[in-house]
Structures are given as C-alpha cells and as structure tokens.
Amino acid sequence: MGTIVQENSVFRTTVTGGDTYDVDIAIVERTPDSLSLEADCTCPYVDEHAAPCKHIWAALLAIENQNLVATVPEDVSLELTPLPDMPDAPAGLAETLISRFPEELRSLILGGAPRATRAPRASSKPDAPPPPPLWQRVLDEMPDRPRADVSAPSRQGTSPVAPRYLVDSVSALQANRLVIGIQFQEPRADGKPGRPKPFSLTTDSIQRLTDPNDRLVAALLLGADPQADYSYYPYRNPRSAALWSPPAASWDTLLPVLFATSRVFYGSWRAGAAMPLTWDGGPAWELTLTATVDDGVDLLDLVLCRADERAPVREVTAFIDGSPGLFLRHGALHRFNPNDCFEWLRIWKDRKPVALPGDERGRVIEHLARRQRFPALRLPAEWGYAVVDSIAPRPTLTLSKPRSPRFGFEGRDTYCTAAIHFRYDALTVVAGSPGGSAVDVGARRVIRRQRDAEAGLYERALRVGARRDKYDDTLRITQKAVPKLVSTLMAEGWTVLGEQGAFRRPGRISVLVTSGIDWFGVSGEVEFDGQTATLPEILTAARKGERFVRLGDGSLGMLPDEWLSRHGAMLELGRADAGELRFERSQVALLDALLAAMPEVRVDEQFRAARQRLASFDGIAARTESVALTGTLRLYQREGLGWLHFLREFGWGGCLADDMGLGKTIQVLGLLLDRKEEGCDRPSLVIVPRSLIFNWMNEARRFAPGLRVLDFSGVSRRDQHDAILAHDVVLATYGTFKRDIEKLCDVEFDYVVLDEAQAIKNPQSLSAKAARLLRARQRLALSGTPVENHLGDLWSIFEFLNPGMLGKSEAFRRAFRAEDERDAAAPGGDRPPSLQLLHKTLRPFILRRTKSQVATELPQRVEQTIECEMGEAQSKIYAELRDHYRALLMQKIDDVGIDKSRMHILEALLRLRQAACHPALIDPQRKDVEAAKLERLLPMLADLREEGHKVLVFSQFTSLLRLVREPLDHDRVDYEYLDGKTRDRQKRVDRFQNDPDCKLFLISLKAGGVGLNLTAADYVFILDPWWNPAVEAQAIDRTHRIGQTRTVIAYRLIARGTIEAKIQELQQSKRDLAAAIINEDNSRLSKLTREDLAVLLG
C-alpha cells in the first residue's frame, strides 16, 4: 500500500499485488443532502467487470485505519453502492473488511439499515454444523461466477463507431501542447447526430472501430500518455481515457493516419464547438528571421518559410512545441523547424515588423552573432552579407604541459589541461562560447555555427578520456590517457597540438630486405613530417602498448595502426639486431608472404632469387602411386601424395589435415613406399596414440606389404633397438617414444610422422619437447582438425615441422594473441589482417580437404573397422572373466552336453562382449577403469564436432551410452539421446536434424535402429557391432537414405583380442553362427560346437 493522498474529498493511493495499480476513492455529492462513495482502480478486473476489486477493498480498509473518513460530515447520510466479494478472494473478505469500518459506513456498505436497527450479534457461537462431504467441498470451491468475455458488450455501447478527433484548442493556446480528444455521436430520435460524447479507448471499445485507420490510431494512442480531464472525468482509469497527449516522437506516424480519417476538428474540449482541420503533408516550414527593404526602410520580421512561401507568425492560430513543432493556420496543421527558438514565438507572435535605420545593419548582424541561438536568417542583397550555414566545424585540441595533481582533481595522476576550438574556414571559435554565428567582417559573411555538431565533438572528447574539472569546468586529461585520446581523435580528423608542437601523423613507410650468411635482414623507417623512426623503434613502442613513438625533435609520432595491424604481428617473428629485424632462412616463405603485401619494399638479389624459386612452384601435381601399393588411390589422395613430394623437394615439413575418414594413413604409406623404391636407407618413425598402433599395422599389411614394419610400442622394445635400422617403418606411441627418447635420438630417421599431432599442441609438454629432439630428414604431422584455426596449437606443431619458421614462442604468442581473441569473438566475420597474412604464409604447409570438397570421388557409403587396444587394467579384467567362463562352460558341457548349456553360453558371451566395451558394464564400481573404445571414440567425436559434422553413435547397451554421456556432460557438449524410454522421439529427431549446435545423437539399437530419418548426420559409430549385415545396415541407413546428399562414413569399434575380434573371424566362415551369438538367438545356437566355443573363448 502506497501513501494515501487526500485532495478535498478524493483519496488517491497505489496498491501492489502482482503489479502496482492506482486506486481513486471519492465522496461525491448527489443531492444537497446525499453523498455517494465512488471508486476506481487501474487493474484489469475493473475494466472487464465494471465492479470493485480487491485493491479498492484494501484502500478502503487503509482509509478507515488512518481515520481519514472523519472528514465526512456526521449529519449527512451516505449511500454506497453494495460492493460484492471478489471471486478470487477468500470467502467473507468483504464482510471482514466492512466490519472494520465506522458504524455508519458498515451499515451503508451492507446495503441495509444502520447497525443500531439490527439485532445484536449473539455473544456465543452456536454449535458448528457438521462439515459437508468431500465431494461438496470440492464442488463448492469451483467458481460459480460467469467468466467475463472479451466480446461482452461495452459499457459505451456495441454499435459501430466512426469517432471524431478533436485537437484541443485550450491545450494548444495555453500550454503549446498537442492534446487529442476522441468523441462519438449517437443518433437522436429524429435521426440527427446527438451531442458529442467522450469515447474512451478500452479493449471493449476498440471492437467498435470498423475503419482500419481508426484502429491504427487507437493502437498508436494506447502507447501514448493519456491526458485525463479531471474536471469532467475525475476518476477515469487512465488506460481508458478519451483525451490523449501523444509524444512528439510519434507525430510523424500518427498524424498522417489520423487525418486520413477526414474526421479531425479543432476546438475546445469543454465548449463543444469545433471547425474541421486538415493536414499539410508537405516539407516542414522553418522559423526564420527575415530582413526586407520597403521604401528604403529595413524591416525585421519573424516568419515561417518554406521555399518561396512565407507566413508571418502573427497570422498563425496556435503553435505546438516539439521537434519539429506544429502550427495551425487557415484550418490546416503544419510541421515546422523552430531552430531551438520556440520561445521567440511567444514574444513576437503579436508584434509587427520592426523598422531600423539603414546604418544599423552591421550592428544587427554583430548583435545576432553574439547570441547563443537565433532562427534561420534571410537577408536581402542590399545588406551585402552572405549567410552561410553549410560549413562543418573542424575541431582542434590543444594540450598544456603535464602538471602535478592539485586538490579537487579526480585521482592523483599527472594531468594536462585541454582546450577545444572549432574552425569555420578562417574563423575560430572556442567550444562552449556564446553566439549562434561567427561573423567574418572582411568577407562579409555570417557563418552559422553548427552548435549540435560542436556539442557532439565536445562529448566525443569526453568519451575518449577527457574530464571536466569539478571547480572551473575546464577539460583535464590524465597523462596516461593522453596517448589513446590523441591517437583516437587524430584518426577521426582532429588537429592535436602539444607543448612542443603538433602531434605528428605517420607518412611514407619504406622497407628494405638484405641477405646475410644464414639470415635475411629487414630494415625500414616511418616518416613523420620530416622526422623518422626505425621499424624496431616502432615495434618496440607497439609492444609496450604505446600509441606514439618519441621522435628526434622530442615530438610524438602517432603509430601507423593500420599498417601495424597488417604487418606488425609478422614482423614480431623476427629479432631486432643493429637497427633491423633478422629472419632465419627457414622463414623465407613467411617473409615472402609478408613482403607481398608491401609493394613498396626493396630487396637485394639474393632474396629476390629465393622468392623467384618459391614463385616457380605453380601448384601441386597429382602423383601416381607405386605399384607396390595394393590399393588404388583416389584423385585427391594422389594430389596429397604429390604435395608430400613437393614438401620433400623444398626440404619443408607439412601438416596433412584431411577430414576424418579420407585416408591420411594410406597417403603416408604411399610416400614411404616411394622412398623405399628411391633407395632410401633410413627407417621412418611414426608416432601415434596407443589406440592407433594396430590400425597402422593392419593398414600397412593391407596396402603396403612390402614395407618392413616394427611395432616399437610393447615391453619387448628394449630388445628391439638394434632392429630399428633393419626396418622401413617404426611404430611407437607417444608414451614409449618419450621414455626412449635418448636412444631414438641416436638414429637419424628419413621421416618422423606424428599422427594426431594435437598431442604436441602444448610446446612445454614432454611430448612436444621430445619430438623436437628427434633427428629426421623430413617431418610430417597428421591431424583431423583444421590446425590453422588454433594459434595456440600452431606454433608448437610448426616448431616441430619447420624449426624457427614462426619465430620464438613468446614473440608468436605476443604477436597473435590479441588477433586470435578478436577472431574468436567475431565468428563468421573477416579475420584480422595479420591472421589472414599468417594463414596465407602457412597455406603451402597445410593440406586440408573436407569430405564435401572431394564428395564426387567418394562412394555413397564408406565403412571402416577400428581396432582398439585395451589397456592393462581392462585387459586383465577381460582375461579373468574369459578364463572363468571358459573353465565353467567346458566343465558344464562335459557334464550335461552343449544343448543343455545354451543359456550359460549366452550369458558368458554377453558378459564378455560387455567387458570388451567397458568393465563398468559388468561391475559399476569399475567405471573409472580406462576403456579402449571410449579412449578412441571421444577424441574422434571432438574432431568431428570441430569440423562441423553431425554424428550418430549406436550401441545395444544403454549402460554404455550413459558412460559416453558423462564426459560429454562434463564438457557441456550439446547432444541428443534416444533409448526405449524416450517418449518425445520426433522432437529429439527434429532438433538433431535442424539445430546447428546439436551435432551428436546417442541412440540405443532397439530404440533407434529402424524408423528414424537422420539425414543431417554423415558419420556413424557402432560401438558394439552386431555383425548381422541386415541389422547393421538398418542403423547406418538412419542417415544413408533418400535425402542424404553427402557420403556417409561408418566406423565399427572392435576391442582387439576379445570375443568381438573372434566373431569378426567367424563371420567370414560361419555368418549365421556369428549373428546368432550377437543377437542372442538361442534357436540358432544349435550349430555351435565345442570347438567353436573354444575358439571364441581362446
């Protein structure tokens, strides 16, 4: 409850429930000896029901509690319309509230005789009747009052209305305000229009408006502040007012629609008489001070002008203040620009033209020039002055010498005072000085100051670091803020002057490249109006975060920000030495790309030759694979093989970053076969994650059987060091090569290849440091992710591939950290110039083809089996379980025969399949045991998400899918999930299909193997194969079906050395038996022999 305000016999307050509402309660005289109590509230209930609400009851109670009703004369009887209980209030609320009012009000509210005439209330309560049954209490709680209908008849009537709109003359003449009243006229008995009545806008009354223009006017007015007329309608709900005062911002939209009704009048809201009003839709008029010469006499007059039209202000009926304003003349409403001189109208409206002697013309001009503001000016040719209002102010900022802080200035920093001036051609005015114009007496010109533009420029200086002194209103700038403020304003066209002269803008930039024994030198300088600064000086200032460089004469030169944004980061990759920047020979490609963007660069002959050698490379030629490669390469793979040979020709390392599934391994195997046929006598070292060792072994056996491959990942590798040189390819894991780095460094390899090269993205990691120690003629990195998008990873990988190419780690991070952050903050936008240049530099060293780019060369569906090597803990658990079931089942078969052992066999096979997926499927307490399939799956999912692909993950075991979900939830990965308990299947399917952020769908086989259309996906993972080709095809066909426009790549994950691998072998010879095992088909297990079971459990 807000404060109750009493105005004579009217009480006003606010009541807060769900929202805050205004409540008015008044004691109104009906007859000389009769009063009535009237109340209103702004809540929706009163609008819809025309009945008192709970907010009114609360206000009445507060009035009674504060003894405010004592102002009612005791000898005057009160008549109060009965106020019923609210349907949404507790039973008896009205009775309770009324009982607390004074005696005479209680009796009147209850609608009966005064309390004294009623029987006294019994002092004790009679025995309470028995409670009604439950069914009756339930029904009694149901509302019995008819629900209000939005289409119920309006209290103003139901017939269609074509209202008339009245521009109130009293408001216009006395307050210069636009107030619009809405009226309607009901026909009299004789058929003529009746007396105009107020038409209140409500949700009911709008339904009576049939003209679309009327409905649009109502909608626009409902957004305006209503102008309540308290003389005639003292307690009207403001939201249903008939008088409205729309804001000036709405006039351009509202008024044309209003006048399109042809029912707009001008007159007094109280008087009733009105004249028709029309709308001038032409350009706005302008308030203008004019000078004319009449019979040799100069006359000054205030008029409204539009082109050749003129209207003296004394001929105007009324003015309405606004920007633009409105004026009424000859029955029409016009717009005009008051030039911020609306007050002139009130004074000059009734004046006649002012005469002045001819010799006063100059004084008039000078007097006007000293004023803060004056209207537009029109002068005759006889005056000899030209009025110019098209010159924009040119700002100048003048800084004082730094001063020590004084008491009262914000902060304790040394500061400079500043003054702002504006130049209008040859005239200069001080910011904030009086005067609306500047007079150039010599040129006889009156230059109108653009005061709004001046104010905007002054505010701009405040926004970029200047502050007003709290005592004398001068501008002050802390010395630390000066560089940013000056550079910002100078870049925006300001002139900035300092204690030693002007701050200098950068001019011509010259660069020269020379060659040393094993380095290239880049020297250059930037000119600043006769002064110069060297490139190392410029970069040093930029590195410190400064915006200026100190020049030889002590002045400050503004750093060339745009030039530095394009080239500064790349130049940082060199090292300063003897006034120039030096780059290693390995950085020739980087330097070439940098200088290509600087056409003004001069180079020496040695560097020009190096650039020409680079320029002679005109593209990658596809290379046919060796006949020793048993597979046939696709065209894009042959191009990849050609690119690998291109890198070897130039002695560079490179990163092959094709999409997952496009065959990076076979391209590398093709290169290594070529090297062997070329007579290479050195082995190549391939370092891979542990889970990929056996994939590489299998791929090498399948496609390059002529290569001698050494598995250098097991515990027996300690005895294999001497065998390294006898092999063509040595496979090691990231873990084993780190442990054996000292011995591996003794070998000079032909190639060192890092698969999943993200493993060395941290340059401080042991893997990254160890990789850089390896000796090799060539280096390669393989990655399924676009490494060029990760600057944090890029330096470490390229320091391995081409040491020194990207400079020192700290310099690279310093140069590109800000650009990387800006690139990440604006996805989809243009990259910063320095990043574009870096990517151009690295383009020859990174080959990436996406699946969509080579789609025409791919079959519609590609299927691949990935063997996952179990870790020590999982292998031990699986072996114990296998040995247990082997002993148990063999004994069982010997005792009762294989037919009676089928259920036990099925249980054993199921448990072994579960253990191959994850030990937690057997024992939930083993959830933390490392599982080979998840270790392989999760990085692949991360790569595919980053590449923008959508992926389906299938499993027969929902418990395995739950284990997959946990790390996804931890990393806040967006995905969908579907199993047999999912009820809103189609909603989940639609979201995966249409939401670009949802890239994963985990699906149980039984719930989603059939009946789903998931063509948004182009990768499928089958976590626990079921080997029945038809069943497996059904899962893959969820995405590979009509509507799929991309190649679908499906991966089966197999745990090596487990029952899954055994079943894969059985599939070739006993397909039905394999399908029966996986699908737990008891009827088909009759073909299983004791020997088959021994193989499965072997």
Q: Are residues 886 and 1011 in the same domain?
A: yes
Percent of the chain with pLDDT over 90: 27
Domain residue limits at 324? 285-384
The domain tally of the chain equals 7
Same domain for 338 and 402? no
Residue 153 domain-assigned?
no
Q: Which of 615, 644, 679 is the last residue of a domain?
A: 615
Helix 605-615 and helix 588-596: axis angle, to 10°?
Answer: 90
Q: Is the pLDDT of residue 45 over 80?
A: no
Least confident window among 353-362, 496-505, 863-872? 496-505
Beta carbons of 709 and 702 less than 8 angstroms apart: no
Q: Please state, in angstroms and rounded to a whole number, the distance separating the CA atoms of residues 752 and 653.
A: 10
pLDDT (tens digit, 9 = 90+) per residue, 429-466?
A: 888 776 667 778 778 888 888 888 998 999 999 898 88
44-71 average pLDDT score: 71
Instruction: Kindly report, residue by residue over 777-795, the tens digit of the pLDDT.
Output: 999 999 877 565 567 678 8
Q: Do 205 and 262 belong to one domain? A: yes
Q: Closest by alpha carbon to 118, among 106, 131, 129?
A: 106
CATH number at residue 1072: 3.40.50.300
Give the pLDDT confidence score for residue 167 in this predicted structure.
Answer: 94
Looking at the fold, whether 931 and 976 belong to one and the same domain comes out as yes
Specify burial of residue 481 (Cβ count, 10 A radius: 0-12, 13-18, 19+): middle
Residue 604 has pLDDT above 70, yes or no: yes
Same-domain check for residues 477 and 593: no
**In the predicted structure, residue 213 carries a pLDDT above the cut 80:** yes
Q: Give residue 633's pLDDT.
A: 93
Q: Burial level of 415, CB count in 10 A (0-12/13-18/19+)?
A: buried
Are 524 and 509 contacting, i.e. CB atoms less than 8 angstroms apart? yes
Higher-pLDDT residue of 125 and 399 is: 399
pLDDT above 90 for 9: no
Residue 145: inside a domain, yes or no?
no
Three-state DSSP state, 957 = coil
| Nearest CA-CA partner of 782 in 753, 760, 815, 814 | 753
842 plus 948 within the same structural domain:
no
Instruction: Verify that 695 and 843 share a domain, yes or no.
Output: yes
Regarding whether 907 and 982 lie in a shared domain, the answer is yes
> Which of 83, 115, 147 marks a domain boundary?
115
**125 assigned to some structural domain:** no
Q: Is the pLDDT of residue 1074 over 90?
A: no
Q: Is there a single domain that holds both residue 929 and residue 1076?
A: yes
Rg (CA), the chain: 45
Q: Are 1028 and 914 in the same domain?
A: yes
Residue 125 burial class via C-beta count within 10 angstroms: exposed 0-12, middle 13-18, buried 19 and up: exposed
Q: How many C-beta atoms lie closer than 10 Å to residue 244's C-beta?
A: 24
- 306 — pLDDT class (breaks 50, 70, 90): very high
Q: Two tokens at 175?
A: 């307050």
Q: Does 902 map to a domain?
A: yes
Is residue 152 assigned to a domain?
Answer: no
- Does the pLDDT of residue 1041 top 70, yes or no? no
* 698 and 824 together in one domain: yes
Interval 1041-1056 mean pLDDT: 78
The reported pLDDT for the residue numbered 827 is 47
Q: Domain boundary at 803, 820, 854, which?
A: 854
Least confident stretch, 53-62, 585-594, 698-707: 585-594
Mean pLDDT on 915-921: 94
**What confidence score (pLDDT) does residue 158 get?**
67
Q: Dihedral (C-alpha) 1007, 1009, 1011, 1012: value to the nearest 10 degrees?
A: 90
**Averaged pLDDT for residues 877-894:** 90
Given a cut of 80, whether residue 952 has pLDDT beyond it is yes
**419 has pLDDT over 80:** yes
Report the CATH number that the domain containing residue 685 is assigned in CATH: 3.40.50.10810
Most confident range (mean pLDDT) of 585-594, 832-841, 996-1005 is 996-1005
The reported pLDDT for the residue numbered 1032 is 64
* 391: amino acid identity, one letter: I
Q: How far is CA 617 from its chain centroid?
A: 43
Output the pLDDT for position 696: 92
* Residues 1020-1045, mean pLDDT to the nearest whole number: 68
The mean of the pLDDT values for the chain is 79
pLDDT at residue 54, as a whole number: 81
Mean predicted confidence (pLDDT) in 1002-1019: 77
Q: Is residue 304 part of a domain?
A: yes
**647 and 747, same domain (yes or no):** yes
Biggest alpha carbon–alpha carbon distance for the chain: 140
Quote the pLDDT of residue 831: 63
pLDDT band at residue 128 using 50, 70 and 90 as cut-offs: low
1059 domain residue, yes or no: yes
**pLDDT confidence of residue 1031:** 61
Q: What percent of the chain has pLDDT over 70?
A: 79
CA-CA distance, 669 to 674, in Å (whole number)?
9
Q: Is residue 675 part of a domain?
A: yes
Overall average pLDDT of the 302-330 stretch: 92
- Three-state DSSP state, 1067: helix
In this predicted model, what pLDDT tens digit does every residue of 855-870 receive, in sequence order? 777 677 788 888 898 9
How far apart (Å, rounded) are the C-alpha atoms in residues 1094 and 1089? 9
Distances (CA, A) of 631 to 346, 371, 704, 860, 1048: 96, 91, 8, 19, 21
pLDDT value of position 108 = 39
Instruction: Look at residue 337 and tell me whether its pLDDT is greater than 80.
Output: yes
